[in-house]
Amino acid sequence: MCFLRRPGAPASWIRWRMLRQVLRRGLQSFCHRLGSCVSRHPVFFLTVPAVLTITFGLGALNRFQPEGDLERLVAPSHSLAKIERSLASSLFPLDQSKSQLYSDLHTPGRYGRVILLSPPGDNILLQAEGILQTHRAVLEMKDGRNSFIGHQLGGVVEVPNSKDQRVKSARAIQITYYLQTYGSATQDLIGEKWENEFCKLMRKLQEEHRDLQLYSLASFSLWRDFHKTSILARSQVLVSLVLILTTATLSSSMKDCLRGKPFLGLLGVLTVCISVVTAAGIFFITDGKYNSTLLGIPFFAMGHGTKGVFELLSGWRRTKENLPFKDRVADAYSDVMVTYTMTSSLYFITFGMGASPFTNIEAVKVFCQNMCVSILLNYFYIFSFFGSCLVFAGQLEQNRYHSIFCCKIPSAEYLDRKPVWFQTVMSDGHQQTSHHETNPYQHHFIQHFLREHYNEWITNIYVKPFVVILYLIYASFSFMGCLQISDGANIINLLASDSPSISYAMVQQKYFSNYSPVIGFYVYEPLEYWNSSVQEDLRRLCSGFTAVSWVEQYYQFLKVSNISANNKSDFISVLQSSFLKKPEFQHFRNDIIFSKAGDENNIIASRLYLVARTSRDKQKEVIEVLEKLRPLSLSKSIRFIVFNPSFVFMDHYSLSVTVPVLIAGFGVLLVLILTFFLVIHPLGNFWLILSVTSIELGVLGLMTLWNIDMDCISILCLIYTLNFAIDHCAPLLYTFVLATEHTRTQCIKSSLQEHGTAILQNVTSFLIGLVPLLFVPSNLTFTLFKCLLLTGGCTLLHCFVILPVFLTFFPPSKKHHKKKKRAKRKEREEIECIEIQENPDHVTTV
């Protein structure tokens, strides 16, 4: 090994370069020995993964269990809303009130809801008989009770010029029925059965009342429609697998029946499949519970695993054909597995960060845990199971067996006497290979297209300005999208699109979006309610809301009754002895907590109910209300909390945006650290970081422009985009940096010729495998399809269009390689001249 020092280069630079070369060659040597070990013991490395798959795969069938708690999955694990719910539940337990809706504010519990919608132009108020029949049918069901929300009517038209806002007509009415479960397991099972019967009843009543449209929802409806995606996607996932198998098989084929490897493409995809099955078995054996977000793992694992498969095939084609097949396998491992090991490590680290306690969303955490196991097994199965398949295929090639029929290829003299179709099927490529052609694998159709057509076209000087303009357009749209990122914790984004929950949510959004959910306003510390300044503070806090407040009703009662209660004793005495005993105010007893110290009574806590006026974008405005009220609870003299069960999911909005950004930032930093010692030129790291950042921001911006919100699926896709970009850009950039051709153009042509085939094979297989997801009627799979399509498209754009052009403009320079080659050529000419002078008799020989 010889290290040449460039003139003027500092000694520290030389030492760092030597260290990088030593480490890189050490890793290549390790991978070479790994390939030699696999080639010497192929049966062992083929058997062990198969046994693991059978063992864990059968275990998965027996231990399969779906996740039953949707809130645990998609709501933040540690959120302020959950703390507020615990405080509200401790102050006002459910079992203290059995007749009022507002006692159920801090937990949705078991319930059934129905929206009755009249035909267009009709008035729901004139359909009283149908509404009452529906209502009576529900009440006849066991253990049901009805509770009415203040804004039951939807699509309301008021009487013109009416001072008291009289209702002229309404289009819809909503009724909610809560069940008395109170946390008991037995009652919860009874409540679940009631909800099933409730949904069946609504479907039956819909058939009977053709003049009304009924939209029902129960507490389990969201969970049912969330898991419905997995059931709907079963056949489409199998179709995706068939498409990927077909694409991989065809792209690995050649006209040359000896050197074509269609079965290796097929076995490579199957290798990834059995590694995913094994990972699923480990997940379920360790008491993991399935949820529909895990549907993306096969696609994520396939995108990385098949990249290793196609790179190993390309590495095999680059080896010398005259070497023994075992040496060729070892050389392919030495060439490919260093980069594949690095990218697999980045997958593991990035998804490992997503599985850490810092991740606040359980669905993301569970997905990342499973993905880490899948990546480890994927890597193990690629170098063991697929490596063994490569050994057997190499042995067949060395012994001149047909790559498909596994029969001996006849001699050229024998083929000349046979028909043309027989010669085409059994040809080993000798007819097309000229004597000066050293690499018969260059006849692979993708490699031939890149070498003869695409490389010359993309590096043409007239094409480059259009590529620059294209990138500017790409960057502009990406930047525009990044400025419009929208939070997306709306849970309907994760449900099957044709589900009853979606239909109910759409109708509710259309006709009941004028008001927010009922918000509980809990004062959890003793307060001087009789003090005029406190009363003014309460009024100021409740301004802008429609309030259902015992305080306001009590003040009105005192004013109408002409009673003075300006001190503590009078205020509490009149409240207990007079106000709360009146029938119309008795329900406020559940909203006030009294304590007695000796002969003195105190109000230690109370609650009010607020409803905000909203527009069509109801959820966004409720979040704004929540974000405004929470800071006031800390700055005002009144200590309070606000809560509604939907707030548990709304906390997800503010957290979902920061998670992918942080993970992407840490991932890029890890790329810099891990690749610093593996690349000869530091600019390789710089280009890799720029490329990955450009792809990540492009996917993020275009996602937003494509109306994809930031939910748990899009977060996971952004994490995957980071790794997918590294997986495909890293080999291309490293080969360019290490290339020794005279010009940058020649270096990028060499890089595309070496890795372009594998990149195109993998991205094409990946994108074709996504097509069946379009036909799954689910918002979750549609989001997955759009995100992964952008990931594959942006990566392909950078690898084949943007990088080949931009790398010809900017460093690293290749002039020093040109100078070295000139010096070596001049030295060789001088040596030949000396030989001629010393041996004048052999001039003609020389």
Residue 270: band (very low, low, confident or very high) from pLDDT cuts 50, 70, 90: very high
**Residue type for position 449:** F
pLDDT at 278 over 80: yes
State residue 845's pLDDT score. 38
Most confident of 390-404, 678-692, 722-736: 722-736
Choice between 833 and 725, residue whose per-residue pLDDT is larger:
725
Q: Does domain 447-483+679-812 have CATH number 1.10.3720.10?
A: no
Closest listed residue to residue 317, CA positions, set 800, 730, 756, 724: 756
CB 783 within 8 Å of CB 687: no
pLDDT digit string, tens, across residues 695-751: 999 999 999 899 888 888 888 898 899 889 988 998 888 888 877 777 888 888 888
pLDDT digit string, tens, across residues 135-163: 788 777 755 444 444 347 777 777 777 66
How many CB atoms are located within 10 Å of the residue 407 CB? 10
On average, the pLDDT of the chain sits at 80
pLDDT at 294 over 50: yes
State residue 297's pLDDT score. 93
Residue 844: band (very low, low, confident or very high) from pLDDT cuts 50, 70, 90: very low
Considering the segment(s) 109-218+500-513 as one domain, its CATH architecture is 2-Layer Sandwich (3.30)
| Residues near 758 by beta carbon (within 8 Å), at least 6 away in sequence | 307, 310, 311, 313, 314, 731
Burial of 135 (0-12, 13-18, 19+ CB in 10 A): middle
Placement of tokens 């060659």 in the chain: 25
pLDDT digit string, tens, across residues 320-335: 888 898 999 999 999 8
pLDDT at 396 over 70: yes
Average pLDDT over residues 160-172: 74
pLDDT at 692 over 70: yes
241-244 contacts, C-beta under 8 A, 24 or more apart? 241/269, 241/273, 241/298, 241/769, 243/768, 243/769, 243/771, 243/772, 244/269, 244/302, 244/306, 244/765, 244/766, 244/768, 244/769
Average pLDDT over residues 425-439: 56
pLDDT digit string, tens, across residues 798-824: 999 999 999 888 766 655 555 555 545
Most confident of 159-173, 366-380, 727-741, 825-839: 366-380
pLDDT digit string, tens, across residues 588-625: 888 888 888 777 788 888 888 888 777 666 667 777 77
CATH topology of domain 10-63+240-429: Multidrug efflux transporter AcrB transmembrane fold (1.20.1640)
SS (H, E, C) 645-712: CCHHHHHHHHHHHHHHHHHHHHHHHHHHHHHCCCCCCCHHHHHHHHHHHHHHHHHHHHHHHCCCCECH
